[in-house]
Every structure is written in C-alpha cells, then in structure tokens.
Structure 1
C-alpha cells in the first residue's frame, strides 16, 4: 500500500505545475493509517526525493534558474525547521483543520488557473525536457535589472521563501503553489522556467524539513519511507511518459476536485469515525 501511495504522490506531483504535493499527507493518513505528524514527516521525505528526480530530468532543458533557486532555497530551508517546531507543539486536530483550509486555498487556485490561463496548465513538472526559454531573470524590486544577490532582490524574495519554508515544515508540502507564482511575479520569467526552478527549491526545502523532523527525535518507519519514495519516483516516470497526452486544464480541475474530496474524507476519518 505504501508503494501505491508513493506512486500517486509522484504522479500528481509530476502532472501539476504546482500544488501536487498536498495529496501526500491525506493519502498517508487515509491509506496507511498514520498519525498526522508522522504522515508529514514521510511526506517531506517523499516529496524531496521526487522533486530531486524531477530536477535531474530538467537539467538539460536549460530552464532552471540557478541563482534565484539558490536564494529561494537558502531562505526557505532556513525557516522550514521553524515550521517543524510549530508542528510538534500543536495538537493534531488543530493541525488537521488548518491543513484543510490550506488545501481549499490551493485547490481554488488550481481551478481558477485552469479557467483563466488554461495554457499554463500544460506546463508541468513531468517533462524530460522543455523548450528552452531565453527569457532572462529580471528583479522587479531592482528596477527590472538582471537578478543578482543584492539586498533589494533578496528582500523581495524573502516573503515567499520564508512562507514556503514555514508551510513545508508545518504541513509537509513542497510549496510549489507559492514558489511558481512568486518567481513569475518577482523575476518575470516564463512558466516553464518557474516550474523547472521550483523543483530545485522544493527538493532543498523539503530535505531541510525532513532532516529537522528526524533530528527532533521523531521516528519514521524506514521501510514505509523507502516504499513511498520509490513509488514517488515511479509516479514521476509515469508522468513523464504520459504527460503529453493527459496534461491540461481538465486534468488540473480533476486534481483540484480530488484534492477537496480526499481532504473531506480525511477530516471525517480523523475527527468523527475515530473520535
């Protein structure tokens, strides 16, 4: 069952431009009957491995913007442990309800994107390569000058990066739903560049959150983690092979709807059936 969960996580993560990793926690809770904190820990590990695999498949595309990825990753990785500390200090019911609200916001954003900009939904993570965009990363906060490690550029990016890190540590999500629009807005790059760069950021921030989770003394069933991670990579491969046929606005709306349904089931199981 853990392998199947990982397969679904990797497939959804690969076939969405952003927001796919929020499937991980509900699936782990419903299908593997894990406590939420442990589900978050395994989610962080699985998302980190899947995103790293996605990064490797994108290396030759030329769309990864390494300098913005470095800045975003460092800021986000530094705050992911804070989210993990908060995770350990609040009760499971509060954590679950707040996570449900986050899922609703992400699903709504995915649905609206599919309605307003359907072409953007065809740019997904599961691609062996993408048409290289020659668009240069420009820092909006520095008067549209080329992006550099300067105070104004770092300050502008810090808000999204810090929030991404906190949410990753707190809920076990990758944060692509924040990373992609932040990069597009702040450094004015194409959707393909933003998605490719987000994979690097997700792998670093999720790894930071997972390491912090382990250092906190929490335990993870190594066999379960290995199976979920293997399934996640396998799901990404399936996404790579099928992406040209299935990606698009209809698929993204389907994922958004499935996300809401799965969250409702999770709430029912945790709050009512096992009360």
Structure 2
C-alpha cells in the first residue's frame, strides 16, 4: 500500500474502531487486528506488533484523560492488586511475544482466530449478563499476590499475542475476582495495561518487527491519533446506545469477521 494511501486509510479506519472501543469501554484493538491483516495486508505477526504499538498510544491518551479526575484514595487500597497483576502480566507479555516468534504464520493465525472468537464470546456473555460491581474480596496479602500474578500471566500472554491492551480481560478480573468497583476498574486497568504493552513492544522490537519506519509514521501514529478521536466520540455516544445490545452485536461482528478473515487466509 502506497504511503499516502496508507496514512489516509489509517485515519479513516482508526476513528470508527476507536469509537467502537469507546462505546464498550475498551481500546478497540480486537477490531483493529482484522483490519491490519485484511485491509493493510500485513502478516499476522506484524499486525499483532503494530496493533500493540497503536494500543500504547490509546492507553497513554486514555490515562491522560482519566487520571486528573481519578481519586487516588480509591486506587491506593488496590495497590497490591495492581502491582501483582502488573508483575504477572509483564511476564506473560514477554512470554507471549517470544512464543509468537517461534510459531509459523499458519499456526499463529489459528491461535489468533481462537483468541478473537474467545473475546467475541466474552462480549456476547457480558451482553446477556452485564458485569456488576461485587463485594470487595478480603483476601490475605499473600493470596492476593498469588491470584494477581496468576491472572496477570494469562492476561499478559493473551495481550501480547493479540496486540491489545487487555482491558477486556483485566476489567472483569478486577470486578469478579477482586470485587473492585466498575468505575475504578477502568482506571486501574489502564495502569496495569501500560507496562504490559511496553514489555510486549520491547520484545517485538528485539525481534525486528518495527524495522520498517513507514509502518510507524504512516500507520501506527495516524491510526493511534484517529483511534483517540474515535474513542472520545464513542464515550459521548455511549449514553444513547444500549450497552448490552451493543456488546451482543459487536461480539457477533468480531467472531464473524475473524472467522471469515483468518479461515480465508488459511485456505489460501
């Protein structure tokens, strides 16, 4: 894809994807991955790495928007949980990026397909059974650390494999496992995602995935900027659209697009 066309397509596709993410409270990276493979014709390995770089832009901007309004006295009691999840997810992200390098393109596509279908099913389930804030779990410090690290390993591994921030997994974990209030979970999720994404990017960079400068200047940066704009639009529109219906619809769309794209590529 020529440079000028790549920039335009990055801006055009990034905004609606960011809008979808803003509507459901995520970064939209799950929907961005099929676009990178299908429209931009990037290999699955490169698409995941580029997706992770765009996720970094969206997470940093989201933190810039949310932290000034966040109440630190709500986050401080969660410090042990946050640090435990970060430690586990950073290790998982490093392992996931290393794993992606070792598998063939065909096998990696199958792994990505399974994970995207899983995320789609998770959205559908949440559409039928919206996650509500539960009672705070009073685990001991040692048990909190163990649970946090274990869940973090899984989250970081999947995050690195898909190139996503991992909010679709972190937020349910914080709410269901640790009983964190849903409003606080969103900010905590961003704090947990940031170091995880950085570790994944560093590992992918060491694999030479970001060696083409045009991928950063003509795809990652414009798509990141348009994703931030779209995310803002999504947060404005969220009060006008039914959350459960939206998750059901987007879950079905994600599964259908992932199956169509990756099965089609595998047959080729």
TM interval, short-chain normalised = 0.7 to 0.9
Deviation for aligned residue 1:268: 4.1
**TM-score between both structures, scaled by the size of structure 1:** 0.82
**Is the 1:5–1:31 contact (alpha carbons within 8 Å) kept by the matching residues of 2?**
no
Could you give the per-residue CA deviations for residues 111-169 of structure 1, whole angstroms, max 9, x where no partner exists? 1211123x75xxxxxxxxxxxx9x9x955431xxxxxxx43211111111011111122
1:141 — aligned with what?
139
Change (3 A) 1:19 1:116: farther
2:225 — aligned with what?
230
Segments of structure 1 that go 5 or more residues without pairing to the other structure are 121-132, 143-149
Q: Tell me, yes or no, if structure 1 residue 270 matches structure 2 residue 261.
A: no
Deviation for aligned residue 1:217: 1.8
Could you give the per-residue CA deviations for residues 201-225 of structure 1, whole angstroms, max 9, x where no partner exists? 2232122211221122223412211
Change (3 A) 1:74 1:247: farther
Could you give the per-residue CA deviations for residues 18-58 of structure 1, whole angstroms, max 9, x where no partner exists? 58421121111111111011100111011121122222222
Please say which of residues 152-161 and 50-59 is displaced more in the overlay.
Answer: 50-59
Q: 1:246 aligns with which of 216, 241, 252?
A: 241
Deviation for aligned residue 1:255: 0.9
Segments of structure 2 that go 5 or more residues without pairing to the other structure are 1-8
Q: 2:154 aligns with which of 157, 163, 166?
A: 163
1:86 — aligned with what?
99
Q: Could you say which structure has the higher helix fraction?
A: 2
RMSD (Å), alpha carbons: 2.4
Please say which of residues 194-203 and 250-259 is displaced more in the overlay.
Answer: 194-203
Distance, in Å, in 2 between the alignment partners of 1:100 and 1:19 is 19
Distance, in Å, in 1 between the alignment partners of 2:87 and 2:114 is 27
Q: Tell me, yes or no, if structure 1 residue 154 matches structure 2 residue 129.
A: no
Distance, in Å, in 1 between the alignment partners of 2:226 and 2:129 is 33
1:207 — aligned with what?
198
Could you give the per-residue CA deviations for residues 81-102 of structure 1, whole angstroms, max 9, x where no partner exists? 1110100110111111121111
Aligned residue pair count: 251
Q: 1:195 aligns with which of 182, 186, 194?
A: 186
Distance, in Å, in 2 between the alignment partners of 1:112 and 1:140 is 27
1:125 — aligned with what?
none
